[in-house]
A and B are shown apart, each in its own frame.
Chain A
Amino acid sequence: MKRYGYPLLLVTMLVPLGIASAGLRQLQPVTIQIDSANQIVGASGNLADAYNSADTNQYIGCGGSATAGWCQAHDATPTADGTLNLAFCTTTDPQLIAHIRSISSDAFIAFSVDPATGLCRSLSVSHNSGYRPKAP
């Protein structure tokens, strides 16, 4: 007992320290929202989590110019005919275009789409300490 006493004590001290330094971490993979009529109506996910994901399918992001903007998201499933795993929305709304500019490389974003027009109905941008940064 005396032989293992010091290392055990050290482990007992360090383990809680390690947990405390981690903080809350949230994983936000890309998801595509589809309505009952089988139409894409939105998507959400964290940019860094999509980048860090083990699959090579996920991506999510927005962009545009001074006059028009877009958001797009692809979930973890591979691209195939008949699968609705890639969502788009576009906008000419200056407020949404300004909102797009606020997106950082490890932000969480969620957008909703009018399925008839493809126009962005809303865009939510969130920055949180719980989001993982992009891995190198």
Chain B
Amino acid sequence: MRAVVIAAALLGSGAGGGYLLGATRTRPAVTSREPAPAERAPVVISDRGVSEAVLHRIVRAELDAAPLRTCEPVTPAPAPAPPVETAPFDDGMRHVDQALARHAWTPADASALARVLDAVSPEQRSQILSTLTPALNRGQIKLTYQGPLF
């Protein structure tokens, strides 16, 4: 009898505790936008419009008409341009600047410029010559000799 009472007491406290624990949690409301499978309206295809064979033929024709897309060959990325050498250009411009400062173009300048012009890029070459030549024509730089300009 005593055992029966203890068992009943344990059962009662367990159920009560479980109830209390459950009460502390708020259960998320179960929402579902989809109706239960039983509630879904059955899909009824009353008129398919085109038959499967016709549809297959249309798809086939469209695929045949579409331009064939091929994988383009992968071209390697162009190699990065070599760094522009600035030392010969700086040397050339320095000669021109010095000539402007002393108002004279000497055979030594001519020899140095000839070497520089062969070492620089076409753009740098034009830049050096576009600085020197107008100064010569304006008389800001005078030739100290009669001979080749460079």
A103: min CB distance to chain B, Å: 13
Report which of B126, B146, B148 forms a contact with A92, defined as CB distance below 8 A: B126
List the A residue with the shortest CB-CB distance to B115: A65
Residue among B114, B130, B132, B133 facing the most chain A CB atoms (10 A cut-off): B133
Q: Given A67-B117, A67-B118, answer yes or no on A118-B126 (Cβ-Cβ < 8 Å).
A: no
A-contact bits for B61-98, CB 8 A (1 contact / 0 none): 00000000000000000000000000000000000000
Chain A residues, Cβ within 8 Å of B112: none
Report which of B114, B142, B149 forms a contact with A90, defined as CB distance below 8 A: B149
List the B residue with the shortest CB-CB distance to A57: B146
CB-based contact B130/A68 at 8 Å: no
Chain A residues, Cβ within 8 Å of B134: 115-118
List the A residue with the shortest CB-CB distance to B103: A81
A89 proximal to B (CB < 8 A): yes
B118: min CB distance to chain A, Å: 6
Contacts from B to A (Cβ < 8 Å): 114, 117-118, 122, 125-126, 129-130, 132-134, 136-139, 142-143, 146, 148-150
Contacts from A to B (Cβ < 8 Å): 39-40, 59, 63-68, 70, 72, 79, 81-84, 86-92, 113, 115-119
CB-based contact A68/B129 at 8 Å: yes
A43 to B125, CA, bound (A): 23
CB-based contact A118/B139 at 8 Å: no
A84 to B136, CA, bound (A): 10
List the B residue with the shortest CB-CB distance to A41: B137
A88 to B130, CA, bound (A): 11
Q: Given A67-B117, A72-B149, A86-B143, answer yes or no on A119-B125 (Cβ-Cβ < 8 Å).
A: no
B15: min CB distance to chain A, Å: 102
Minimum-distance CB pairs A-B, first 7:
A118-B133, A90-B129, A70-B149, A117-B130, A40-B137, A118-B134, A88-B136
Report which of B122, B139, B146, B148 forms a contact with A70, defined as CB distance below 8 A: B148
Chain A residues, Cβ within 8 Å of B146: 59
